Amino acid sequence: MESSRSVPRVDVRGPRTVAWVTTAVLAVVLLLAGGSTVAAAVLLGVQAVVFAIGALRGPAGHPYGVVHRTLVAPRLGPVTETEPVPPLKFAQAVGFVFAAVGTVGYAVGVPALGYVATGFALVAAILNAAFGVCLGCKLYPLASRLLPARTTAVPS
């Protein structure tokens, strides 16, 4: 296992800002779904892309993270607490799965699936934003044990 010093870390306030923006987007998706599941599918599809970018690039490349870093972070005091990046990337991947499922639900005329998937993602975003509880991050240790470890091939 890697030492905690070799694992990239990020200021905890960035992911919480991301969670607040995500909360707002997901709430709008649920409101839109009441009038137009097509509009809900489009907005949730955009959020799914945002989750995918966060899962692949981590906090530094996350669209909402870039907004935090350029507009919010300069107005904050010094960093006092950090958290590891890999669990955050995993949490974004989990968010992507829920957003993708919800998008499909709204798009194919199964709004109940869209509501449920969006609702789960919204609850997770609210918990992170308001209380600093990242559900995907809590699942990360279990998932990292269940998923095959990435190995680097050494040329012979």
Express each pLDDT in 5-22 by its tens digit.
Answer: 689 999 999 999 999 999
**Using an 8 Å Cβ cutoff, are 112 and 105 in contact?**
yes
118, pLDDT greater than 80: yes
**Using an 8 Å Cβ cutoff, are 145 and 99 in contact?**
no
Predicted local distance difference test score (pLDDT) of residue 147: 76
Measured CA to CA, the distance from residue 80 to residue 13 in angstroms comes to 10
Tell me whether residue 3 is in a domain.
Answer: no
Which tokens hold the place of 42? Answer: 């489009």
151, pLDDT greater than 80: no
pTM score > 0.85 for this model?
Answer: yes
Angle at 123 between CA 55 and CA 72, to 5 degrees: 60
152, pLDDT greater than 90: no
Tell me whether residue 44 is in a domain.
Answer: yes
Whole domain around residue 54: which residue ranges?
9-146
Which tokens hold the place of 59? Answer: 């906090």
Tell me whether residue 4 is in a domain.
Answer: no
Tell me whether residue 111 is in a domain.
Answer: yes
Domain count along the chain: 1
Tell me whether residue 131 is in a domain.
Answer: yes
Tell me whether residue 94 is in a domain.
Answer: yes
Tell me whether residue 152 is in a domain.
Answer: no
Q: What is the mean pLDDT of the chain?
A: 92
Tell me whether residue 2 is in a domain.
Answer: no
